Structure 1
Amino acid sequence: VERAAEAAINARSEVREAYSAYRNSFDIAKHYRDEIVPLNKRIAEENLLRYNGMLIGVFDLLADARSQITSVNSYIESLRDYWIAQSDLQMALIGKPSLAAAARTSPASTGRPDH
């Protein structure tokens, strides 16, 4: 009975941790999507206007483009972290696969030859 109670407590803890990671990664990805990337795009547009008015040089424009690319790459990485956290949460909700389930889906039990 105590082992069953311990397993239930561990399962709830794992789900709480997975949900916390999921929620944090979602908030970060949303922040990049809604605030950082549009702000950098607007800054790039303004710098292009300043470049066209000959107020800044080519190198300033290139540095700004590099920072915009960096922010988009950071958004993509945060989105990747979000999808990983979501799959971890789904796995925590489903539970860990058991060895009995793995044995049932082995090639020997399906009758298909192993290639």
Structure 2
Amino acid sequence: MSIIGNLIWLIFGGIFICIEYVLAGIVMLLTIIGIPWGLQCFKLAALALWPFGREIRETQPSAGCLSTVLNIIWIFVGGIWIALTHLVFGILLAITIIGLPFANQHFKLMRLAFTPFGKEIV
């Protein structure tokens, strides 16, 4: 069932979100300072392509407050724009009953777009 959901997901905005994450990752990797955020973008792009059957978990806070600082910078650099894209796709898909599972995936990814550091994709 998750394979069918993932294939339909690609049609309902998954490919566009993945392209957005990849473009943001490339822009971030152009500078040395942006490498941690660029790597997070590529990890999120893989999740945006195939979200059904995968979970997002909190990791153990072994890095102290480093993930918090990286998340705050991420929100201002690109997280808010990607989260708004997830919000728009989620609202458009939530209009129909058939689109509700896909809207839920967009809302899940929207929360992750705000704070990608300190999260693990399983």
TM-score, structure 1 as length reference: 0.32
Whose radius of gyration is greater, 1 or 2? 1
TM-score scaled to structure 2, two decimals?
Answer: 0.30
Greater RCO structure (CA 8 Å; 6+ sep): 1
More strand as a share of residues: 2
More helix by percentage: 1
